[in-house]
Structure 1
């Protein structure tokens, strides 16, 4: 039921009012008595919020209604309001027909897998603590959540010479970024600023391919960078002052290098480029690997040695600010970096990058195939990790073999310091998979 970032699916098929009611009932029945609820701009969210709120109240919980707001706004509100949990009705970067639910703990961190399993188990067993009419919960409007978030963003950065910025909101909830940057003195141009859950301006997920309009505007004006969010604004990606998309691993390396210092640790999922390791090594810091999923990065970021964490998908976490990926915070941090250090294109050039190869192999029995992969690579390689999939480290590169969570394939990724070596490692990865998927291994 729960993926790496909550529940998502097509409205009316996978995601229904009945499911929303069950989620609300299960959260309240599991002991979360005071819950902040918000949603992204999708019209289907209005019905789903009504249903999840009804489920919470049926089982005695008090609901604080945040309305339409960025996911990090809701996550930040949970500890601030002394709530036990938060629920955001959102499908994040998924297309318009989808919706879903993200759950947040009292610390503003996403529910971990065990907490999600507890909620899913209640739903599957239809096991709820329904209350009599005299003990059902109440609801109240949570005023000022976005304003409080905006104030926290402004306090998190300092801009002596505010640059000009183009912000592509993507018709989602990330308009707070344009507002805060303007208040900080930036000259701001906004694209796709009207909230519209059908995402008419561009697809909700910001990628090199979907940000052509942003690239064009930045490249044809005197803007010094461009910022883009997904539908619920937990993600942030960028284009530089020439209008060129900033590679995700490079953006990770820039944030990590700017945040960390001697002895610090940065949390990154398996499959993150060596560019991040090298950038941190230059300042005496290091990387600790986690399974894929921002919740695992956030879990590691709760430990005192971690000063930053992220996923190259565009989810960035500064644990001293919040344990939720906060796209508007990342935007403000990047603008501050450009204001302090100069053109983003020059900063990008300062990060050394390496060739990466990605492919997939169709596999019917993924679990069995990955078990065979684990056995065989241990016979061949010395440095093997099974934190999430199978990671193989060699002197000049690495291989990651990881089963897809949604498709009957195993994905192979290889990175090396030269093109020829990357090709060789990618070929080795495919050979390992093909050997492991033979009919009679």
Structure 2
């Protein structure tokens, strides 16, 4: 039921009001107060109503934030002394989808044990409905966005205000424009009207989808551009010359800025060598996690981890919150540019390396992955099975993972030289072929 980023799927198929009602009941079993909010998808209204009804049936009070960014919802759990938070969102997925993501008071997403408990309660209908005198109340709080803006303004200082273009993507990330303006920046917005059909551009802020942002930044005197997905847990960036920055470069910049000697930065297993090299320059190192911001957040809760991030655009500063906070990332990036100079120049300081990716179709991906694990155990010394199978070689590394949603084996390879990257990819594909794919 739960993927690495909560429940997601097509509305009316995977995601229904019946499911939302059951999730609300399951969360309400041991919660006195729950915060709930949604992204701009119209289906979110129905799902919010159903989830709130389920929670209230089990005696929990529900505080409804209405339309809100996911990091605002996650932070609001602690602000309102609630026991749990629920974001009704499909994040960067297309308009026909929606989903449900659950949050703890620390701002961290429900971990594997908590998700398993919710799944079991739903499967077994393990809840007790309150009678008419014991049902919870539903109230509205309209102050969450303002509270988030105030928190960002307190957490970040920008001495030399910048000109920033923010592509909200018709999502819930307008809090970023408000926060940057509060920090003294000149802000222009694109696709700022919330609309869950995402008419301005697809929700995921990829390079292809951020062409208008890149052209706008390059064609004006803007210092940088910011782009969010539908619920603003992701943040991607465009430099002042219109260059769209890769996620690995952003991760290296954020990590190098946050870390000092002896610190660690949490990154997923498919992160570029560029990040480890950038951290080594300040005496810090990476600690690897499975792919998914939930796992990065879990590792970021450890005392010597000062930052966590995913190249997909999820950025976590644990001293602030364990939720990926796109607006916070936007403000931190603006502060970095104001302090250290143009983003394009900062990006050029990060040495990047060729990464190769290829998918192998198979209807037996779990069987193939089992044989891949057996083969690499006999052929290589430096093997990690944290998420899929990663093999570190003297000249690079490769990762073989089964897709969570498609009949595919995903193969990633990287080396510091293009020819070596090609060779490592072919080596990895050979392993997958030998495994029967």
What does residue range 296-311 of structure 1 map to in structure 2 within 5 Å?
296-311=295-310
Report how far residue 85 of structure 1 moved.
0.4
Paired position in structure 1 for 2:261: 262
Shift of 1:364: 1.9
Deviation at 1:32, TM superposition (A): 2.0
Counterpart secondary structure, 1:128: coil
- What's the CA shift for 1:34? 1.1
Q: Please name the residue that 1:347 is paired with.
A: 346
CA contact (8 A) 1:178 1:188 kept: yes
Match of 1:8 in 2: 8
Q: CA deviation at 1:405?
A: 0.4
Paired with 1:182 and 1:298, the residues of 2 have a C-alpha distance of: 28
SS at match of 1:320: coil
SS of corresponding position for 1:373: helix
Matched residue, 1:199:
198
Q: Deviations over 1:362-388 (max 9, x none)?
A: 122222211111111111111000000
CA displacement, residues 272-292 of structure 1 (integer Å, 9 cap, x when unaligned): 000000000000000000011
Secondary structure of residue in 2 paired with 1:237: strand
Q: Is the 8 A contact 2:75 2:105 kept in 1?
A: no
2:172 is matched with which residue? 173
- For this pair of structures, how many residues does the alignment match? 437
CA distance in 2, matches of 1:36, 1:120: 20
Q: Write the mapping of 1:78-157 to structure 2, written as runs, cut at 5 A.
A: 78-157=77-156
Partner Cα distance (1:68, 1:364) in 2: 40
Alignment of 1:370-381 (within 5 A): 370-381=369-380
Q: What CA RMSD, in Å, does the superposition of the two structures yield over aligned residues?
A: 0.9
The secondary structure found in structure 2 opposite 1:387 is coil
Three-state SS of the structure 1 residue aligned to 2:18 is helix
Matched, 1:27 2:27: yes
Give a deviation string over 1:116-151, Cα, whole Å, max 9, x none.
111112112222221111111111122411111101
Structure 1 distance, partners of 2:41, 2:367, is 39
User: Which is further off, 176-185 or 323-332?
Assistant: 176-185
Report the Cα distance in structure 2 between the residues aligned to 1:113 and 1:7, rounded to whole angstroms.
13
Residue 36 of structure 2 corresponds to residue 37 of structure 1:
yes
Which aligned pairs between 1:232-251 and structure 2 lie closer than 5 A? 232-251=231-250
TM-score, normalising length: structure 2: 0.99
Q: Secondary structure at the match of 2:328?
A: helix
Confirm or deny: 8 A CA contact 1:361 1:434 kept in the other structure.
no
SS at match of 2:133: helix
Which aligned pairs between 1:346-365 and structure 2 lie closer than 5 A? 346-365=345-364
Aligned-partner Cα distance in 1 for 2:364–2:42: 38
Find the aligned partners of 2:345 and 2:82 in 1 and give their Cα distance. 44
Q: Distance in 1 between matches of 2:435 and 2:48?
A: 46
Could you list the per-position Cα deviations for residues 381-437 of structure 1 after superposition, in whole angstroms to 9, with x for gaps in the alignment?
110000000010012210000000001111000000101110000001111001101
Residue in 2 that maps onto 1:278? 277
What is the TM-score when the length of structure 1 is the normalising length?
Answer: 0.98
User: Structure 1 residue 243: deviation in Å?
Assistant: 0.6
Aligned to 1:164: 163
- The corresponding residue for 1:325 is 324
SS in 1 for 2:13: coil
Unpaired segments of 5 or more residues in structure 2? none
SS in 1 for 2:370: helix
- SS for the counterpart of 1:87 is strand
* C-alpha contact (below 8 Å) 2:59/2:136 kept by paired residues: yes
For the 8 Å contact 1:363–1:437, the answer to whether it is kept is no
